Chains A and B, each alone.
Chain A
C-alpha cells in the first residue's frame, strides 16, 4: 500500500516540477493561469495522498484549503482581473526562453544538492521530494525576476508559495494547523491587495508593464 502511495507522491512531485518548467516557458497570461491552477490541483492531490498514506487527518484539511484557495478562489480572481484589465491574450516578449530553461536546469541541480543532506535525515515517506519542492521554489523565483508584466510576476509569487507548501508536506507532514491557517490567510489577503494594485498601476501607467515601475532609482 505504502509502495503505491510513495510512487504516487513521486509522480505528483515530478508533475509539479514539470509544471514549474512549463510556466517558465509560457508566454501567454491565460495559459499561465491554467498552469497555475493545474499546479494547485496537483499540490492538493499530493497533500491528500501523503495524508492518506501516513494517517495524518490534518493533511486532509490542508489539502482542502489548497484546493479551495489555489484551484478555485485565486484562479477565479486572476481570471476576473485579466478580464477586467483586458490582458487575456497578452503575449509577453520574453527574450530567450531556452536560456531561462537552461538556467532552470542548473537551479534544479542546485536545489537537489542543497536538499540532499537534509532529506537523508528526514523520516517522512515523501522525503525524496524535498529537492523537487526547493527546485519549484527557485524556478518560480526566477520567473518573478525574468517577467516584466505584473500578472506573471504575481503568478510566480503564488507558485513559489505552492513550492513552499509542498516542501512543508514533503519534509514534515505539514505545519501545525494554526500556522497553516495563518499562512493561507496571508496569501489570500496578499493576492487581494495585489489585485487592487494591478488596477491602480493600470490606471496610473496605462499598462501593466513593470518596466514602467523603474522611476525610483539611485542617481
Chain B
C-alpha cells in the first residue's frame, strides 16, 4: 500500500516544509508542486482500486473503496487547482500588505495540513480517527479563515470554531454510542470502531443505541455540512477568509463531512431496517434548500451569496442521498462532483473580481468583461452552470434528483422547484450587472489564474454532456455501497 503512503505523506511533508519556507517568493510554486504530487498519488490510487477492487492498508487501519477513492481524487484535484489559483491571488494580497511573511507561512502550511486532514478523514477505516481528522480539519480551517486578523475575520473564525466545536462534540458522543453498540457484537479487543467490521455485523447492532448514535452523529457532522439550522458559521467563514479558502471549504470540506454522514448512514440502515436515516436526511436537506434559497436572495456580499448557494446545494445532495435508490444516489454523487468543480471555479473568479474592485459588495463590482473578458465570462458561465442550466453537469444531476422526487416524494417537488427558482432569479439578477456593467477599475499587477476556472467548467460541461463509461461504473459501484 505504498501509494496510500504518498497520498498522506506528500501533504504532510508539504505542511512541514512550507511552515519554514511559506513566506519565500517561490512558496506558492512549492504549494502547487506538493498539491500536484498529492493529485498524482491519488490518481495512482484510483487506478489501483479500479483494477483491484477495494483495498485495505496497514492492518485494516485504512480502507479504500469506490466511494471514498472517488472523493479522494476530487479532493486532490480541487486542492491542486485551488493551489494554482492561490498563486497569483496571494501575491496580490502580499502586495496589498494584507499578507505578511508570517501569515503567508501560516497560510501555506495550513493549506497542506488541511489537505492532509481531509485525505485522512476520507481513507481511514476507523470511525474514531474519522472524528479526529474532522476536528483537525476544523482547526486548520479556523486558522485559514482568521488569517487576515481583521475584526470581521476573527469574528467569523471564533463563531466557526465554537459552533463546529459544539457540533463535532455531538458527533463524538455519537461515536461513543456507536462504539458501545459495536463492542457488544465485535468484542472489546479493538476493531469495534473499524468501519468494515461494523459493516459486516451491522444487522446485529442494537437498534436503540444506534438510533441515538445516528441522531448525534447526524447533528454533529451535519453542522459541518452546513445543514440548516446549523449553518450559521458557513456564510461568515466563506466571506471573511481568503478566497482560496472559500473555494476549498465549499468544494472539499462540505463533501467530506457529508461523506462521514454517509458512512454512518450505511451502518444505521443495516441496523434499523427502517427509513429513519432517509427521512432525517430528506427533511434537513429540503429545509436547507428552501431556507438557503431565500437567504441567498437577500445578500449583498458576493461571497456570502455563493456561500448560501453552497448550503442550498449541499441540502439538495443530502436530500438526494436521503431518498436513496440507485438513481437518486447516483445523482447525489454526480451533484457532489459538479458542485465542487463549479463552486470552486466561481470562487476563483469572484475572488479575483473582489480583489480588483477592493470590495466584496456586489453593487460595487461592475464590468468584469470589460477589464478581463476571461474572468467575466468565467463568472457568467459558472453562475449559469451552478443554477442548473443545460448543458452543464448540474442540470443533469438536478434533473435526476427532481424526477426521482416527483416519482417517489411528490410533496417535495414544488418546494424544490420554488427554491431553485428563487435562487435562479436572485443569482442571475446580481451576476449580470457585475459581468456586463460599466467600470473604471484597472487590471491587477498579477494576472489571474483563469486556467483552473475553465478546466473546472469544462469538466462540469463534459459531465453534463457525456459521462465516460468507467466513471459511470465507478459512480454505480459507489452508489451501491451507500445502499442504492
Residues of A with Cβ closer than 8 Å to B?
Answer: 114, 117-118, 121-123, 134, 137, 141, 144, 150, 153, 157, 160-161, 164, 167-168, 171-173, 175-176, 178-179, 182-183, 185-186, 189-190, 193-194, 197, 200-201, 204-205, 210, 212-216, 218-219
Contact = CB atoms under 8 A, between A and B. Distances in A.
A194 B129 contact: no
Contacts of B154: 197, 200-201, 204, 213
Interface of B: 126, 128-129, 131-132, 135-136, 139, 142-143, 146, 149-152, 154-159, 161-162, 165-166, 169, 172-173, 175-177, 179-180, 183-184, 188, 190, 192-193, 206, 208-209, 212, 236, 239-240, 295, 298, 300
Given A117-B208, A186-B136, A197-B157, A172 B169 contact: no
Nearest to B142: A193
B128 A205 contact: no
A66 to B, nearest CB: 15
A146 to B, nearest CB: 13
Contacts of B126: 176, 178-179
Given A164-B169, A193-B142, A182 B236 contact: no
A118 B212 contact: yes
Given A175-B128, A193-B142, A197-B157, A118 B177 contact: yes
Question: Which of B136, B154, B193, B300 has the largest number of chain A CB atoms within 10 A?
Answer: B154
Contacts of A134: 173
A185 B132 CA distance: 9
B158 A171 contact: no
A125 B236 CA distance: 45
A157 B298 contact: no
A218 B128 contact: no
A215 B155 contact: yes
Given A167-B173, A183-B172, 20 more contacts: A117-B208, A118-B208, A134-B173, A168-B176, A172-B176, A175-B193, A176-B126, A178-B128, A179-B128, A182-B128, A182-B131, A186-B136, A189-B139, A190-B139, A190-B161, A212-B155, A213-B154, A216-B159, A216-B236, A219-B300
Task: Give the residue among A153, A157, A172, A175 with the most B Cβ atoms within 10 A.
Answer: A172
Contacts of A144: 162, 166
Contacts, number: 125
Given A121-B206, A186-B136, A193-B139, A171 B169 contact: no
A141 B166 contact: yes
Contacts of B212: 114, 117-118
B454 to A, nearest CB: 33
A45 B470 CA distance: 56
B379 to A, nearest CB: 24
19 contacts: A117-B212, A118-B209, A122-B180, A123-B184, A160-B169, A171-B177, A175-B175, A175-B193, A176-B128, A176-B190, A179-B126, A186-B136, A190-B135, A194-B161, A210-B158, A213-B155, A215-B151, A216-B152, A216-B156
A210 B190 CA distance: 43
Q: Which secondary structure dominates chain B's binding surface?
A: helix
Main secondary structure on chain A at its contact with chain B?
helix
By CB atoms of chain A within 10 A, which of B135, B150, B184, B239 has the most?
Answer: B135
Given A121-B208, A197-B157, A186 B132 contact: yes
A179 B171 CA distance: 14
A121 B166 CA distance: 27
A193 B161 contact: yes
A137 to B, nearest CB: 7
A118 to B, nearest CB: 5
B161 A179 contact: no
Contacts of B208: 117-118, 121
Contacts of B206: 121
Given A164-B176, A171-B177, A157 B129 contact: no
Nearest to B240: A216
A161 B139 CA distance: 16
B252 to A, nearest CB: 19
Contacts of A137: 169, 173
A176 B295 contact: no
Given A144-B162, A179-B129, A197 B180 contact: no
Nearest to B208: A117
A104 B3 CA distance: 51
Contacts of B142: 193
Contact of B151 (A173, A182, A197, A204): A204
A179 B127 CA distance: 9
Contact of A218 (B152, B175, B209, B295): B295
Contact of A200 (B129, B149, B156, B176): B149
Contacts of B193: 175-176, 179
Given A176-B193, A210-B158, A118 B176 contact: no
Nearest to A160: B169
Nearest to B128: A179
A190 B158 CA distance: 12
Contacts of B190: 176
A179 B173 contact: no
A157 B166 contact: yes
A167 B208 CA distance: 17
